Amino acid sequence: MNAMNAMNAAETGSPYLEALGARLGELGLPAEHVRVTVADLGAHLAECGGVPEEEFGPVEEFARELAPGATRPAPTPAGPGVETWRWTADTFVDEELLGRFGDEGWEVERVDALGRFVCRRDLARPQRWEYRRELVTRGREGLDGRLAPDGWEACGNWVVYAWFKRPRAASLGPAAELSAVPAPPSRHTFLSHRFYAALALAVAALTASGATVALRADDATSGLGFTTGLLAGAAAPVTALLLTHRRRDRRP
């Protein structure tokens, strides 16, 4: 499907995406930004064949995640005695955080299309959970079967990683049940210093590559112009994303 067809499918073929586009406009996003965002999401759904609600979550929650100026509500009950929460982290700290939040009773149900951990917590009988991450660059044939005897259950995939969970009751017994429920985390995005360092290194490498091309071609515009264009094109969405997460995470 080409870009135009994907855009048309996104704008006319999905009530979810239509509602999302309308809500993003209400939250203050420019019309062109909304159009491009909805088109990209439509193309993703067309490619993977996913169900919008399962891939992205409720329209209101997803819209607030995408809109820089919108406030985002704290985790809300998904049913009687259950609350839900979505969060994301880079691969430098996700295992540590999964351990911490698992000890607070958060169970990962899946990893959505944006790489966020979709979690739930039973408020009536909160249980501790533990997690492990596996590299699956060559597929995961047999991986589930090898881990199942030890109680590990698949709970999500993202690019080259697969995550597994099991209740801590398997090793702690009754002590795995929490006597009190900690307050839900106020943050939804966790990016480490190592992530920012890796990002800076990538930008520096790209700049150096452009400079090398320019010098070899004896034309400053051949490499530096290309690099500048890439950096300028990437800077706006990256900066907006980082600022959005910082604003959101500073709110009480």
Return the pLDDT at 1. Answer: 36
pLDDT tens for each residue of 122-131: 998 899 999 9
- Over the chain, what is the mean pLDDT? 76
> Looking at residues 209-227, what average pLDDT do you find?
57
| C-alpha span between 248 and 61 (Å, rounded) | 13
- Does the reported pTM lie above 0.75? no
Return the pLDDT at 110. Answer: 92
> Is 90 exceeded by the pLDDT of residue 86?
yes
In angstroms, how far is CA 38 from the centroid of its own chain?
Answer: 17
Return the pLDDT at 190. Answer: 92
3-state DSSP assignment of residue 16: helix
> Looking at residues 86-112, what average pLDDT do you find?
94
Question: HEC profile for 29-66?
Answer: CCHHHHHHHHHHHHHHHHHHCCCHHHHHCCHHHHHHHH
Run of H or E including 189: strand 189-190
Backbone region of residue 22 per phi and psi (left: phi > 0; alpha: psi in -120 to 50; beta: other values): alpha
Amino acid letter, residue 175: A
Best CA proximity match to 61, nearest among 34, 27, 95: 27
| C-alpha span between 219 and 48 (Å, rounded) | 43
Per DSSP, helices labelled H in the chain are: 3-12, 15-26, 31-48, 52-56, 59-66, 94-103, 143-147, 169-172, 193-217, 220-250
Best CA proximity match to 189, nearest among 247, 240, 103, 109: 247
| C-alpha span between 242 and 227 (Å, rounded) | 21
Q: 133: number of CA atoms within 13 Å, CB side?
A: 19
Please name the residue that has the structure tokens 């062109």: 32
Largest Cα separation within the chain, whole Å, is 72
> Is 50 exceeded by the pLDDT of residue 58?
yes
